[in-house]
Chains A and B, each alone.
Chain A
Amino acid sequence: MSYPLTEEQRLIGQSASEFAKESLDTIAVDLDRTGNFPKAEIEALAGYDFLGLLLTAEAGGAEAGFISYVTVVEIIARSCPAVASIVNNHVLAAYAIQKWGSKEQKQQYLPAFAKGELLGTVAACESGPAGIPNPGTLVATRQGDGFVLKGTKNFVKSAGEAGVYVVFATTDLTTKPIGITAFIVDARTPGLKVGAKQDTMGLRGCPVADLDFDNVFVPESTVLGLANEGAAIVGETLAVASVAEAAQTVGIVQAALEHAAAYSKQRIQFGKPIGSFQAIQSLLANVAANCYAARLAVFDAAAAIEQGEPFLAEAAMVKLLAIHLGQKSLIDVIQVEGGYGYSEEMPLARLYRDVAGTTVRDSPADFPEGLIATEIA
């Protein structure tokens, strides 16, 4: 890739690669098998400043910018996609608090986030098929000097391990658009229940569970940004998440591509390495081309985020590209390895399961196509 990375960005990627080779390549298979939380690896990532990558120096972060971030995410995802999920959700929560948090909130959470002493995550998902509203939406009602939260957030990544949840709740269903408020909810808040850990098809090292709010009281001080004006926060946070998750998808596809390409050079059938057959070359080439394009789109959106330029439409386009890339690529790449590609003794089966978790739409309302179409009109 000739994308003009600065030397720092390149060196940050180098450190990430070395870390991934040393500490993540070796755990990926076991993590998938056991579903255990990779505590040691997350702590190590904090030690190298990866968890505080986007945070200001004042907060103890590295202030390395979003382009460095997507570089790192792709590299981590190439080695261990589940770890990339955990990191993405943590960094996303950090981003939200850094951008919209009050001075007190920033002081309370960001240094601990940077050091990895506190794990954060964003609870954005609500279950239900695309395009169909979910009645289980989290609702926040004013009460005294705070709010009472009632409802459920689904498929919350890092649920149970996170110490802090950035959560979006509806506060006014009467207005158009509906009023949303973002909250920073401490995991120990009374009444907050983490549901049973889900057994997911892939990304198994990243715990997933529902978050149940059974009339949970949260004080005013937990409001992130302004009450009832959280729609913009949701939009931007999910847009940033799209770009970060797309970088993860690109990493998974790249890893699968490299494995299949290497296999195609070794596997001899009809007297030749199968990599010399046009059908195989075409398969690999198309995946490579799509991966290349998606990566550049990720970088462009990352640059927009870093430079403070508008990026919502770009992020939505990146999301669409990543969905197509993720779904199609692993289906095609497994073909190259045939029956062996289908075996769980080889990595492609696991990557096939992992990539599916990066190509989901967050909620019934998640319709990037609509956002894009509106922007380009």
Chain B
Amino acid sequence: MQLTGAQLHLQALAREFTAAHIIPVALELDRKAEFPLWVVNEAKKARLLCMAVPKKFGGNEYDSVTQSLVVEELAYGCAAFATTLSGNGLSSYPLLIAGTDEQRSLYFTPIVEGGLGAFALTEPGAGSDAGACKTTAKRVGDEYVLNGVKCFCTNGSYAKVFVIFASTDLDKGVKGLSAFVVERERAGLSVGSVEHKLGIRSSNTIELLLKEVRIPADHLLGNEGDGMKIAMKTLDMARPIVASIGVGIARRALDECLKCVRAGRPGQMVQFTLADMEIQIEASRTLVRHALSLKEAGLPYSKESAVAKTFATDAAMHVCAAAQQLLGSSALSSGSIVQKLLRDAKILQIYEGTNEIQRIVIAGQLLREEAAKNAASAAGR
């Protein structure tokens, strides 16, 4: 897949941005688990923020391939930064999928001004089983009242706006889930505990507490019960982006190995290891582009999205492990970026739907297609 001039330009921009603002500080911020508030501003200045927000609302409205290129570059510098900056994208997608223009304006305005958005779906009892949400949204007059606890919410401490999933009908289970836009200022919304993580430590991951949070009824995205559909479509869009983070990490791991071995004459095992890493990276990137090309063409792409996410994140993990093997003990001291890559890579197999869930999605799609084929041929006979 050939990249257009505009895409190449933004890729180069993102690469420069990463070299200037991310690479010099990534290790230290990881060590301190410090959130890089200033980088959001820099990203806005460089027009690398609000990538998914339509121009109509002041955003950059880059096509998805461009978004993936940028994220890959950011992740090359630091997966935590990439997670932070693409958290905006993740939380923007529901608005693109189901938001009215008023809702979009409400959500995108603070983001375009340089603020952050956060997506709150997961709960302590609802991880892979997203439909098991216990957070409730009770309709009272012309308001909804939200009560519950969300967890693993990226950017939650700093976000100006949230997309929060809550149940408008607990008895309906998954079909009772609804999505809401919630501004940070709403009374009753507060940050609970902050996660101390193995990796992506400079990314902010929190527990979000909702106690009698009142929002206008027009903050409901779509209709009551649309929540799961919105969430699933959001994840379809987000998965190739996560896959791109994987590609970025893997590329960085490979480059770190190349830097180390180029001086000597690497033996065959080292050469083969480098080759295997490259194979994984190329394949990952190709899967991302393929999924996104289907999306851009308006074709169904859920399965391809899941395939790209699974493959690229598994690949990133394996590439980092191979880099650690190749580089030995020096990879494990805190001054080495490789130990950070090793820790960062692991989360990619877990968030945005664990790779186990991805496989359920893929298998489900295959079996549906197979069943449809059988039904079609039976009908044809």
B-binding residues in A (CB < 8 A): 125, 127-133, 154-155, 198-202, 208, 268-270, 274, 279-280, 323, 327, 331, 334-335, 338-339, 341-345, 349, 352-353, 356-357, 359-364, 367, 369
| Bound Cα distance A335, B128 (Å) | 11
- Are A129 and B349 CB-contacts (below 8 A) given A339-B127, A357-B332, A361-B325? no
**Complex contact A128–B328 (CB within 8 A):** yes
Find chain B residues with CB under 8 A from A335 CB: 349-350, 354-356
Question: What are the interface flags for B325-347 relative to A under an 8 Å C-beta threshold, 1 for contact and 0 otherwise?
Answer: 11111111111000100110011
Task: Report if B317 contacts A (CB, 8 A).
Answer: yes
CA gap between A123 and B126 in the complex, in Å: 49
B240 contacts A by Cβ under 8 Å: no
Residues A269 and B129 in contact in the complex (CB < 8 Å), given A131-B269, A132-B264, A342-B347: yes
Partner of A129, one of B128, B260, B335, B351: B260
CB–CB B342/A356 < 8 A: yes
A129-B330, A363-B328 known; 6 other A-B pairs, CB under 8 Å?
A130-B267, A155-B329, A270-B128, A338-B350, A353-B343, A361-B328
Most chain A CB within a 10 A radius of its CB, from B261, B264, B269, B329: B329
Say whether B330 contacts A128, CB under 8 Å: yes
B8 vs chain A, min Cβ distance (A): 32
Q: Contact: B332 with A360, CB < 8 Å?
A: yes
Q: How far is the CA of A138 from the CA of B296 in the complex (A)?
A: 59
A127 in contact with B328 given A132-B270, A269-B128, A367-B269 (CB within 8 Å)? yes
Q: How far is the CA of A31 from the CA of B269 in the complex (A)?
A: 36
* Nearest B-chain residue to A359, judged by Cβ: B325
5 nearest interchain CB pairs?
A: A131-B267, A132-B264, A349-B198, A199-B334, A269-B129
Question: In the complex, what residues of B have CB within 8 A of residue A274's CB?
Answer: 128
Give the chain B neighbours of A127 by CB distance below 8 A.
328-330
| B321 on the A face (CB < 8 A) | yes
Residue of B nearest to A274 (CB): B128
Q: Are A129 and B324 in contact (CB under 8 A)?
A: no
For B126, give the chain A residue with the smallest CB separation. Answer: A269
**Do A338 and B327 have beta carbons less than 8 Å apart?**
no
Interface residue B379 (Cβ < 8 Å from any Cβ of A): no
Chain B nearest Cβ from A357, distance in angstroms: 6
* Residue in B closest to A337 when the chains form the complex, CB atoms: B350
- A338 pairs with B347, CB closer than 8 A: no
Q: Is B132 an interface residue (CB 8 A)?
A: yes
A361 and B327 alpha carbons, distance in the complex (Å): 9
Which residues of chain A are within 8 angstroms of B151 by Cβ–Cβ distance? 339
Can you name 29 A-B residue pairings with CB atoms under 8 Å? A128-B328, A129-B266, A129-B328, A130-B326, A132-B263, A132-B270, A198-B334, A269-B127, A270-B128, A270-B129, A270-B132, A327-B325, A331-B317, A339-B122, A339-B152, A339-B350, A339-B351, A341-B350, A342-B197, A342-B347, A343-B197, A343-B198, A356-B332, A357-B332, A359-B324, A359-B325, A361-B328, A363-B328, A367-B269
